[in-house]
Structure 1
Amino acid sequence: MKKKLVKGVTDYFKESFKTGPQHIFLSPGRINVIGEHVDYNDGFVLPAAINKYICFAVSESGTSQCTFIAKDLNETYSFDLNDDLKPTDIMWANYILGVLYQLKERTSNLKGINVVFSSTIPMGAGLSSSAALECGVGYVFNYMFDIGLSKEDIALIGQKSEHTFVGVNCGIMDQFASVFGKKNSVIKLDCNSLEYEYHKADFKEYSLLLLDSNVKHTHLTSGYNTRRQEVEQGLAILKEAYPGIKTFRDCNEEQVLALREKLGETIYKRCHFVVQEIQRVLDAVEALEASDFNKLGALMFATHEGLSKEYEVSCDEIDFLVDAVRQDENVLGSRMMGGGFGGCSINLVKKGSENSIIERIKAEYKAKFGITMKAYKIKISKGTSLYKR
């Protein structure tokens, strides 16, 4: 798959620019094993880069002109580095322009490049193709013109690009996972301090399977903003009652339970989920370290239950995908992944059982919703890097 992607991009580059590329780069998508909706609630997340990539074929243009060809869309965007860079109507170009805007503020070493890029990261499935694009572009320029950026710089530039040129107020997890990914390792990341540690994720006789609901409900932005307000209100009430609490990390389940009446049922449910989910991430790290995959699977199911019933960011289609594997002896755990209201479920399954699971659920899902489910078998891979040919 990777070789095929690289060959396709290289051939297209030769066809477009009448010469071979100087370099090939790969920038991966990401999953989050557990730790959903706690990145903005002072919790930890447990992401990993995966073997779905944006591949960039790149050469210097010899001028200040940059030409980016999006092979999959058959679209080209060109601009001059000396021009004032501003957002454009071409959405994918804004991810690139936002990165370059920041690079121009940091260095005068930049030169024009010719690029062809293509992706195996499914769009709209919640696997962060946007972060892969931003971080890939940052990495390419850093490598080619020796800007001296750290991996953390590249991730932060990607995030800021999305805030300023795309208008999405995203957290740092996606970019961080794309750049810092390590083969067979998950990253326990503190989204506040950006402190991180790697933990082994050798799933042995198990593998990760994503089932894509192929739906994206429109509640995502409104639901997300409402949840943020609700948990902020809840935290303020908890702090008032318990002066020792600064963040949800300092809070335990008993304290939330004791204030159930004062919080009101909705805010109680939101806060209860957050406190439990922060603990589940720590428990999941222990389970991975001990290769206790049954425990990890149980934690995934528990997270989904919380996301669906307490945080209320799931939807019928995703609930169906999780419920459909609950009694399957080949599935240890399943949960909604990402912001919610659609996207994928992530499943921990026995190796070799993937095809039969996909076939069964696909038929049941189609019968229930009239929608064709997609599925992705994934492995945990290394982060954004130069491809050695």
Structure 2
Amino acid sequence: MLRHLLSKIKATGPISVAEYMREALTNPVMGYYVKNDMLGPEGDFITSPEISQVFGELLGIWCISEWMGAGSPNRLQLVELGPGRGSLTNDILRVFGQLRSALGQTEVSVHLVEVSPRLSQVQAQLLLPAEQSQQAASDDQPVYRQGTTAAAGLPVSWYQRLEDVPRGFSVFLAHEFFDALPVHKFQRTPRGWREIMVDVDPEKKDELRLVIVPAPTLASSIFIQADEKRDHVEVCPGGGVIVQQLANRIAEDGGAALIADYGHDGTKMDTFRGFKGHQLHPVLEAPGTADLTADVDFGYLRRMAARKGVACLGPLPQRDFLKNMGIDTRMQDPAARAQLLRSHDLLTHPDHMGLRFQFLCLLAQSRLPAPRAPPRGLKGDPLKTPAALPVAGFTELSFS
């Protein structure tokens, strides 16, 4: 990968950080996500669903709560973007099975958007019966893998693009998905905004370096807000496109989206970093062998989604969302308490994931004033949501 990038830059000049991330992470031959199983204790990082099944169970309750609040339509599509090892979907489907009586005759299906052939195989091994998980995937079809889940008997399909997921009432989940999308980096200078790009180090011909290009680029001309107060900005155009696709589907077909990631509300600056073996890793060192990530700018996602006419609730810290969804009640189970104590601390404590991770919900505007039970758990945007409106996970969820 390093030789490939050095050759590319020498031939065409410096490349954007976004292009560097795209090559290093998703190059079809050498990309980090394409060839690695990076999750878990033996990988490079661990996610909330891998820490405790309670995380996925609470999101499963959120999905059913939102489906019920929308009037219990007779069709429900669970769509996860970047499903990792499949743990989150697996835990949610267990909740669906336990609450099958609430779902009744609803037609439920599962749709996974995954670009990594390696991870799709891992997901299939977890979700499908053994004989189905070994079936070869087809790379040239919109649906490149299909099966029926082992536990719940639900149809599940894999796609490389969100556009290929069938239309219809859907609950979309994106957990640690947007942070891996490529970002452009910009620096304020005395001559105006300039883009930070990746170039060959002239003193070390086989290494890369970050440089501030002297002239404006197309990206620096169109991606910076006129009222931007920060001196360093990271913008994820791909994230803006995807959140607008989600907003379009929600506005036209109904449903909701829950985005959970580490990020900020348009306040942080230089967050681009690498991870390898659960440790920080230099972003330009050994590309293709480490994860690259940047904190999600939820303020940017809100602006992009609002252009499509949906309501945005949050972002709300993970600690508050999980407490609103009843994680403390779940901790009262004597049989599970000892096992859950450490995971509860990792998920909710401010020094761990409690404040760093944020939850953002997208809903159709028509959903908010409906007399049915609104989604729970999130505090609404005061500009878009009546003050007394309860929202699952964004206001407290009570169990009877």
- TM-score surpassing 0.5? no
- Whose RCO is larger (CA < 8 A, sep 6+)? 1
